[in-house]
Amino acid sequence: MKTLCIPLSLILIFLQLPFGPQPSEKIEEEEKTPVKGWRLVSYFATPPTQYSTSGKGIIKAESLGGRASLFKEVGEKEKSFSRLSWKWKISNVVHSAIETRKDRFDAAARVMVVFGRGGGFRGFGREPSGFKIEYIWASHLPRGHIFDHPGEKYCKIFILESGEGKAGQWVYEERNLHKDYKKVFGTEPSELLAIGIQTDTDHSNERVTAYYSVPTLRKR
């Protein structure tokens, strides 16, 4: 019987090979949660919007033909709070967007709130379920316009800013969530489940950069 001889150098190389999760795997996992405390929701066959922190309390969104959302679950004490405020800034609007068409509904910036009971997040990487309001920075429709989301049930759209007159400037927004909910759904809201942000240009394939201050909830 022949004895198999393995050079000592090969044994040392084998012992040094890494096992378990590799650095590339760790980076991939970190990319799923680009902003601490927020969940990334991406959409099938669509390049994701790139989110990152840009100073204390500021989230940067960069989209070139992409779409993705960040959602944050609301704390137990904040579920009944009615006031939401934030600041946002855009580089430009999505020029070819048509907000009332499902296949053209892109927006430079949007802040979303989700209400419900016993629903919430449906799993990692999926949007929270419930009744939703989206506050958007539109391209063409006028400020103050309210309409049904062209592609989602139980979702209402409020246009807070429109056009590029304020592009490049920080703009402050504040909403009474309970008042807005009652106006569009006709009933008192159930508890607030989550807050989200989204910059998307997947239909237009245009480029937009937006900045958001982290939305803040208050009782009144």
pLDDT score recorded for residue 86: 98
Q: Does residue 19 carry a pLDDT above 70?
A: no
Residue among 125, 94, 78 at smallest CA distance from 210: 94
**Predicted TM-score (pTM) of this structure:** 0.84
Q: Tell me: the pLDDT tens digits for 27-53?
A: 333 345 689 999 999 998 899 999 999
Q: Does residue 215 carry a pLDDT above 50?
A: yes
In terms of pLDDT, which residue wins out, 152 or 19? 152
* Confidence class for position 211, pLDDT limits 50, 70, 90: very high
What are the structural domains of the chain?
35-218 (2.60.120)
> Cβ distance 48 to 66 under 8 Å?
yes
pLDDT score recorded for residue 118: 59
Q: Tell me: the pLDDT tens digits for 78-120?
A: 999 999 999 999 999 999 999 999 999 999 999 999 999 755 6
Q: Tell me: the pLDDT tens digits for 146-204?
A: 999 999 999 999 999 999 999 999 999 999 999 999 999 999 999 999 999 999 999 99
CA distances from 115 to 129, 134, 169, 193 (A): 8, 12, 30, 5
